[in-house]
Amino acid sequence: MKNQALSQTVQKLGPLLGLGAIVIILSILSPNFLELNNLLNLLRQVSINALIAFGMTFVILTGGIDLSVGSMLALGAALTAGMLSSGFDPILAILLGLMAGAIMGALNGFIITKGKVAPFIATLATMTIFRGLTLVYTEGRPITGLGESVAFELMGRGYFFGIPVPVVLMIISYGVLYFILKKTTFGRRVYAIGGNEEASRLSGIKVDRVKVAIYSITGMLSVLAGIILTSRLNSAQPTAGVSYELDAIAAVVLGGTSLSGGRGWIFGTFVGALIIGVLNNGLNLLDVSSFYQQVVKGGVILLAVILDRKKAS
């Protein structure tokens, strides 16, 4: 049994070792990489994908998938920006935007549980619907003129004791979600549902309710990422967040969470998001063309998953 525990630890360390290796290589290739400024900048870039990927971790742990995160991000951001530009109180606008995200996510959850639609299909459809609604609402144009509100500017551009606010938000979210997953009955139910949905149902777990909650959390986190993005750009783009679901899923998988559900951890997702962020940042520093960047990123994901498979077998 000791061996089992040991191999589990090794498996858990895998993503971290991978991250370390990439960091070392990049710091050798590019002396600028390890500068504090660059690292803070990197973390800020990572925060958007990380927030989405945290939600995605819950979804994937239950054996589901959410393809609509990028569209929820865009619609939530557009709604928030719309409210800001028409003079809403900024804090109220942000809260209403987050609520819209929770409602969009809950809708996903209801379609999946009550409509008994496979998560892939359900969120593929809502991805298109939410994107369409965003285009309708924005008339296909960016929303600008978001006012001079400090609270809103802080979301994307502010600092908290020298740390970018998006990074602070990411760390707070991580802490809360880690606690939920590890220490609460809700977290336990998430793992149980992913491991064996029928056994969970027969153990008195209200599976549908848990799933709706999970998709709802994911919607809210996506919109939070969207608001950060809007604040950084000082405008809401109708095409924001396109294909963000892929980076989020990649982060979850790189972190070692099983796509079939039941096994995984949110720390791994954090590391996975960092790996993707470090690659993006480092390849930029090295002046690698964005076309090649995609090839490298895809290759790394493939390599990580293959290594994971090898360990598992």
Partner 1 sequence: MNKQALVEMKGISKAFSGNQVLTNVDFDLLPGEIHALMGENGAGKSTMMKILTGIYERDTGTVFSKGQEVQFKDAKEAEKAGIAVIHQELNIIPYLTVTENMFLGKELTVGKTGILRMAEMKKKTEEYLSRLGIDIDPNIEARELSVGQQQMIEIARAIAADTDVLIMDEPTAALTDREIEALFKVMRGLQEQGVGIVYISHRMEEIFKMCDRISVLRDGEYIGTKVIKETNFEEIVKMMVGRDIGERYPERHVELGPERIRVDKLSHEKKFRDVSFSVHQGEILGVSGLMGAGRTEIMETIFGSRKKSSGEIWIDEKQVNIRNPYDAIQLGIGFITEDRKDEGLVLDLSVRENISLTNLKRISSQSVISKTKETELVSKMIEKLRVKTSGSEQSVKSLSGGNQQKVVIGKWLGIDPKILILDEPTRGVDVGAKKEIYQIMNELTERGVAIIMVSSDLPEILGMSDRILVVHEGKATAILDRQDANQEIIMQAATGGNSHEKSGS
Among 204, 287, 290, 291, binds partner 1 (CB under 8 A): 204
Site stretch for partner 1 (CB under 8 A), options 39-47, 195-203, 242-250, 284-292: 195-203
Question: Scanning residues 165 to 184, which ones bind partner 1 (CB under 8 A)?
Answer: 183-184
Does the protein bind partner 1 through residue 58 (CB under 8 A)? no
19-32: b or e for each residue (b if 16 or more CB lie within 10 Å)? beebbeebeeebee
160: left (phi over 0), alpha (psi -120 to 50) or beta: beta
Count the Cβ atoms, other than its own, within 10 Å of residue 250.
23
- According to DSSP, residue 149 is labeled -
Among 168, 201, 246, 296, binds partner 1 (CB under 8 A): 201
Does the protein bind partner 1 through residue 186 (CB under 8 A)? yes
Among 64, 70, 97, 262, binds partner 1 (CB under 8 A): 262
CA distance 50 to 154: 19
Cβ contacts of residue 10 below 8 Å, gap of 6+? 311
Least distance in angstroms from the C-beta of 56 to partner 1: 20
Does the protein bind partner 1 through residue 205 (CB under 8 A)? yes
Amino acid (1-letter code) at residue 36: L
For partner 1, which is the closer residue by CB, 164 or 194? 194
Least distance in angstroms from the C-beta of 18 to partner 1: 24
Question: Scanning residues 106 to 135, which ones bind partner 1 (CB under 8 A)?
Answer: none
Site stretch for partner 1 (CB under 8 A), options 14-22, 202-210, 242-250, 302-310: 202-210
Which token pair is 135?
């285009």
* Residues 67 and 247 sit within 8 Å (Cβ to Cβ): no
Does the protein bind partner 1 through residue 162 (CB under 8 A)? no
Phi, then psi, of 35 in degrees rounded to 5: -65, 140
CA distance 273 to 252: 8
Least distance in angstroms from the C-beta of 253 to partner 1: 17
Amino acid (1-letter code) at residue 135: L
Does the protein bind partner 1 through residue 198 (CB under 8 A)? yes
Does the protein bind partner 1 through residue 313 (CB under 8 A)? no
Does the protein bind partner 1 through residue 139 (CB under 8 A)? no
For partner 1, which is the closer residue by CB, 188 or 232? 188
Count the Cβ atoms, other than its own, within 10 Å of residue 197.
17
Cβ contacts of residue 108 below 8 Å, gap of 6+? 66, 68, 119, 122, 123, 126, 215, 218, 219
For partner 1, which is the closer residue by CB, 153 or 208? 208
For partner 1, which is the closer residue by CB, 153 or 197? 197
- Binding residues (CB under 8 A) for partner 1: these are 1, 183-186, 188-189, 191-192, 195-196, 198-206, 262-263
